[in-house]
Amino acid sequence: MASESAMSGGPPGPPPSAASRVRGRLEVRRTAGGISVVNRVGLEAYVAGTLGREVYPSWHPETLKAQAVVTRTYVLYEMMRNATQSFDVGAGTGSQVYGGLDAETPSVLKAARATRGQYLAYRSAPILAVFHSASGGRTAASDEVWGESLPYLVSVEVENEEDSPDTYWRASVSGTTLGRALAPVGVEVGAVREFRVIERSASGRAVRLQVRGKKGSEVIEARALRTALGASVIRSTLFEIKPSEDGFIIVGSGHGHGVGMSQWGAQAMAQGGARYRKILSSFYPGTRLMEGFAQ
């Protein structure tokens, strides 16, 4: 498989830098935008080099095994989808964060070897094995976020995510700052005076927001708010909006798009005694764990 370094859900670690060590071989290509660096590496080496960048290597062994299967499945799905492209996945948060040799630890290597060749399938094909950091108590179905219903990406309840730093979060923003932040995404209402959720998805996430300002009123997508203020500020669309003295307080729970496996939820299940097969079947219902993919 091929991973492009010129290009993420999970907690620890940046994509590889120019000084990173990687397995396989590197191909440097000139592109319209500059230079593209492609690392051609075997599937299992890719899994080992990605796992430790998507979850903490110190996490429970069963969590690491679950993430290893998810990582392998995701790249197999992308390999099929990008068969005509020069690379299969990016090396950053747009795909999965790849760290190469520098991301390999004994615990990561052990999890990758314990699940070697295993992937999740629906009707014999690798699934779109998306994941996120924390769900806020319930995952989102794929159609809530991307408008496409997939039978194995449905909303499921998630317990015991309290250890996540994003179980509860809040952001404070003035009406003037919010108006300025929304302008680059096409919402030019001036300083915001009224701001509220007018539509929620089945899992409780904000879908559409009403924004009123000095220059008018508009209805926007909740995802546009994340784009405007940044995903590190608006960590998920599972939030409430409350007026404050000089603007608004946004109080939310969870981190990421909310679809598929919650990594903190998986960790809680593992700590409670669940094996990785149980974790995977809980977050991707209706799928089968397949054995023996070799590369």
* Spatial separation of the C-alpha atoms in residues 8 and 92, rounded to whole Å: 6
Q: pLDDT tens across 45-57, in order? A: 899 999 999 999 9
Tens-place pLDDT, residues 210-249: 999 989 999 999 999 999 999 999 999 999 999 999 899 9
Quick one: CA dihedral 235, 240, 244, 248, positive or negative? positive
Give 7's pLDDT tier (boundaries 50, 70, 90): very low
Q: Is the pLDDT of residue 3 over 50?
A: no
What pLDDT is attached to residue 13? Answer: 46
The predicted-structure confidence for 146-199, as pLDDT tens digits, reads as follows 999 999 999 999 999 999 999 999 999 999 999 999 999 999 999 999 999 999
User: Which stretch of 30-44, 55-69, 223-237 has the lowest confidence by average pLDDT?
Assistant: 30-44
As a whole number, mean pLDDT of residues 252-272 equals 97
Q: How confident is the model at residue 141 (pLDDT cuts 50, 70, 90)?
A: very high
Is pLDDT above 50 for 63?
Answer: yes
Work out the burial of residue 240: count CB atoms within 10 Å of its CB; fewer than 13 is exposed, 13-18 middle, 19 or more buried.
middle
pTM: 0.86
Instruction: Report pLDDT for 256.
Output: 94
How does residue 2 score in pLDDT terms, banded at 50, 70 and 90? very low
pLDDT for the residue 213? 94
Residue 91's CB: how many other CB atoms inside 10 A?
29
Could you report the per-residue pLDDT of 72-112, keeping only the tens digit for each?
Answer: 999 999 887 766 566 667 666 777 888 778 888 999 999 99
Q: List 218's β-bridge partners, or say none.
A: 211
Model confidence band, residue 117 (pLDDT cutoffs 50, 70, 90)? very high
Residue with tokens 């014999």: 124
Instruction: Answer yes or no: is pLDDT of 8 > 80.
Output: no
Owner of token pair 């730093």: 165
Domain ranges of the chain: 2-163+257-290, 169-252
